[in-house]
Amino acid sequence: MDLSMVSDPQYSISTVVFLKDLSWALSCSLYMSMILSNLLLFSSFPFADDICALMSSSNIKTLVLSVNREIAKVSTWFKANKLSLNIAKTNYIIFRSRNKRVPHDLPHIIIDNLVISKLKNIKFLGVTFNELMDWSIHISEICKSLSKYVGILYKLKFILPSNILNILYSSLILPHLNYCNCIWGNTYKSRLLKPYILQKKSIRLITKSHMQSASKPLFKKMNILPLHELITLNTLIFMYSVKNHIFPLKYCNMFSLNLNVHSYATRQKDNFHVPKVRLSSSLNSLALVGIKKWNQLPTSLKDCSTVSCFKKMCRAYLMENL
Above 60 in pLDDT, residue 25? no
The mean pLDDT of the chain is: 80
Task: Encode pLDDT of 281-299 as tens digits.
Answer: 778 888 888 899 999 999 8
Q: Is residue 128 within 8 Å of 144, Cβ to Cβ?
A: no
Rg of the chain (C-alpha set): 22
Q: Nearest CA to 114 among 92, 93, 141? A: 92
Task: Encode pLDDT of 56-103 as tens digits.
Answer: 777 788 878 888 888 888 788 778 877 777 777 777 777 777 777 778
Q: Nearest CA to 5 among 74, 75, 52? A: 52
Q: Output the pLDDT for position 8.
A: 39
Q: Output the pLDDT for position 22.
A: 33
Residue 42: pLDDT band (50, 70, 90) is low
- In this prediction the pTM is 0.81
Above 50 in pLDDT, residue 6? no
- Among residues of the chain, what percentage have pLDDT more than 70? 83
Cβ-based burial of 121 (10 A; exposed 0-12, middle 13-18, buried ≥19): middle
Task: Encode pLDDT of 216-247 as tens digits.
Answer: 999 999 999 999 999 999 999 999 999 888 88
CA angle (255 as vertex; 249, 256 as ends), nearest 5? 110
**Which whole number is the average pLDDT over 261-284?**
77
Q: Is residue 2 within 8 Å of 29, Cβ to Cβ?
A: yes
In the chain, the amino acid numbered 254 is M
* E strand spans, the chain: 2-4, 24-31, 43-47, 50-57, 91-93, 110-111, 114-115, 117-119, 121-124, 127-130
Across 22-26, 40-44, 267-271, 297-301, the highest mean pLDDT is recorded for 297-301
192 contacts: CB under 8 Å, gap ≥ 6 = 139, 185, 227, 228, 231
CA–CA separation, 183 and 87 (whole Å): 30
Residue 113: pLDDT band (50, 70, 90) is confident
Residue 50: pLDDT band (50, 70, 90) is low
CA angle (179 as vertex; 186, 21 as ends), nearest 5? 40
265 contacts: CB under 8 Å, gap ≥ 6 = none
Backbone angles phi, psi at 269, to 5 degrees: -65, -25
CA–CA separation, 252 and 236 (whole Å): 14
